[in-house]
Structure 1
Amino acid sequence: MSNVSFSAYAALGSVKPTQVSDKPATNPAEKSGVAEGFSTFKAALQEAEQTAMQTAVSGADPHAMVEALAQAELVLDAAVTVRDKVVEAYQELLRMPV
């Protein structure tokens, strides 16, 4: 059996926001909402995973692990809701008569 390693946020590390204008965004405050959402999502998953590993390995505070996992669940629910709304809007566009 081969060892397969999977990280929940590994795929998000390769996501790069697209630039709408010709001028590259040099100011971090100029990030798009989608890019900011991905980075928040990625950070929440990383924090939850790190806290869970610390709790499993060194017996760290289990309350911190539950809090981090709850935060990651909230972020995941928000991401799923946004995805569902985007899919619903796309389906509405497909149903429009031309």
Structure 2
Amino acid sequence: MSTVSFNAYTALNTTRPADTAKAATKPDADKNVVAEGINDFRAALQQAEKTTMQTAVTGADPHAMVAALANAELMLDAAVTIRDKVVEAYQELLRMPV
């Protein structure tokens, strides 16, 4: 299994001119950003669990375990922040006068 690294700040602030030009001409229907994010989240948690178990059982590199756990914590923080923003936006929609 490959190591998955994700930095929410870099991913959100990175501009991709090629993607923007492609999106303006034709929407990419087979690419789902939400599904990719969920898959990255799942992979990071599985990698952290696997690395932690290897360290506990075989005494593998503890630095790799700390890095994997930090990556999983970052992914969890990003997911919680996104969830909070979605809930906040939904609550704002409910407050709008009809």
TM-score (norm 2): 0.69
- Partner residue in 1 for 2:47: 47
TM-score (norm 1): 0.69
CA deviation after TM superposition for structure 1 residue 30, in Å: 2.7
- Partner residue in 1 for 2:70: 70
Q: Distance in 1 between matches of 2:30 and 2:91?
A: 30
CA deviation after TM superposition for structure 1 residue 60, in Å: 0.2
Structure 2 gap segments, 5+ residues each:
1-28
Percent of aligned positions with the same letter in both sequences? 79
Q: Distance in 2 between matches of 1:57 and 1:30?
A: 41
Higher relative contact order (CA 8 A, sep 6+): 2
- Partner residue in 2 for 1:82: 82
Does residue 1:33 correspond to 2:30, yes or no? no
In terms of fraction of residues, the more helix-rich structure is 2
Residue identity opposite 1:63 in structure 2: H
Structure 1 gap segments, 5+ residues each:
1-28
Q: Distance in 2 between matches of 1:85 and 1:42?
A: 20
Q: Distance in 2 between matches of 1:71 and 1:55?
A: 16
Count of residues in correspondence between the two structures: 70
- Map Cα deviations across residues 39-97 of structure 1 (whole Å, 9 max, x no partner): 00000000000000000000000000000000000000000000000000000000000
Does residue 1:91 correspond to 2:91, yes or no? yes
